[in-house]
Structure formats: C-alpha cells, structure tokens
Amino acid sequence: MAQRRHHRPAADPGTPYAQALAAFDERVRLIAPDQWGAPTPCADWSVRDLVNHLTGEQLWTPELLMGATVSEVGGRFDGDVLGSDPVAAWAGAAAAAREAFAVPGATGLTVHLSFGDVSGQYYLDQLTTDLAIHAWDLAAGIGRRTRLPAELVDFALGEITGYGDLSGSGLFDPPLPAPDDAGPQTRLLALTGRRDHP
C-alpha cells in the first residue's frame, strides 16, 4: 500500500481518518433498537458484530501506537467489547483512537502488526480504509445513508487499488465487475466484493 503523508494531524477533522470515524459514527447512531441483529453485507456478521469489530479495532489502536505487540495485547479485546451500551462503547473506543493519533509524531512510529512492522502512517491508512468500507456495510445493513463522503471514497479507492491483487488475502470478498462508467464508490465497493446501491 502506498505510504501517504498528511500535512495535518491525523485527528484533524479534515483528514481521511477523522472523516472515516465520523462516517461510521454517524451510522452507528442511526441504528434502531431492533436492528442490532440485522444482517450486513459482511457474511456471518450482524449489525452488532460489525460494530463490535470496528470498536475492537479502535481499542487496539492506542496499544499498538504505544509499541505493544499483538502477543502482548493478547486476547484483551476478543469477544464482545460492546457490552450493554454499544453506542457508548464505540464512541469511547473511537475517541481514544483519535486521541492516540493526535499525539505529535504518531504516524512516524513503528507499529507491530501481526504480519510485520509498519509505520504509523501505514497503520492509519489501513484503519481508514477499513472504516470507510465498513461504514457502507453498516449503512446497507440498516438501510440508511449508503452514500459515503466523496473525499473518503477517493482515499479508500486509492488505498485499495494500491493493495494490488486481493484475491486470497481474506481481507475482503473477491472483486466483482463494475460498469465502465461506474463512479468511484461503485468501483471501490466492487473491488471489495460489494454491489453499490442508492
């Protein structure tokens, strides 16, 4: 994946990461009480499972930015991290992750991921892309606001394209064909095995 250098702190409202957090947060707050068990485009994941996954990712962020390894964190964030108030659990995890990336120099740190060491910037870009795609999954699952911010879509599309051939990676479903005249969001979703819809 291409290394990007943002001129503003990662937590600045105008950065892709902040935009992705905001997009996912907006959709979490639209979940109706009877929708937490609803299916999503992610196979075997309900709305609650999806929010739990993204909440867990944000909980890992401060730990990894402080230099912890995957084995050191262990199973601390395995299983259900949402508890009885999923929205509050998500909001707290997102705020902590945003604050961790707001620390000067965070994107230049070495982060120990399961497949090797990467820069904080690489980790940030990976988190941003995952949030963007799953924001659409959540929106599709609850039937609300499936149109993502254009700048965020462009960023994620650039990242996904930079990954190269994703087949067999397990990161996303196999890509689907997209019309030649498809817009950026449709192309982004097709690359991750999703069909765009209004």
Summarised one tens digit per residue, pLDDT across range 89-146 is 999 999 999 999 999 999 999 999 998 999 999 999 999 999 999 999 999 999 999 9
- Structural domains of the chain ordered from first start: 16-165 (1.20.120.450)
Query: What is residue 6's predicted lDDT score, i.e. its pLDDT?
Result: 45
Which residues of the chain have a pLDDT value below 50?
1-7, 166-169
What is the model's pLDDT at position 88? 98
Global pTM value: 0.89
The pLDDT value given to residue 25 = 98
The pLDDT, as a whole number, for residue 14 is 66
| DSSP collapsed to 3 states, the chain | CCCCCCCCCCCCCCCHHHHHHHHHHHHHCCCCHHHCCCECCCCCCEHHHHHHHHHHHHHHHHHHHCCCCHHHHCCCCCCCCCCCCHHHHHHHHHHHHHHHHHCCCHHHCEEEECCEEEEHHHHHHHHHHHHHHHHHHHHHHHCCCCCCCHHHHHHHHHHHHHHCCCCCCCCCCCCCCCCCCCCHHHHHHHHCCCCCCC
CA 78 to chain centre: 17
Q: What is the pLDDT of residue 169?
A: 47
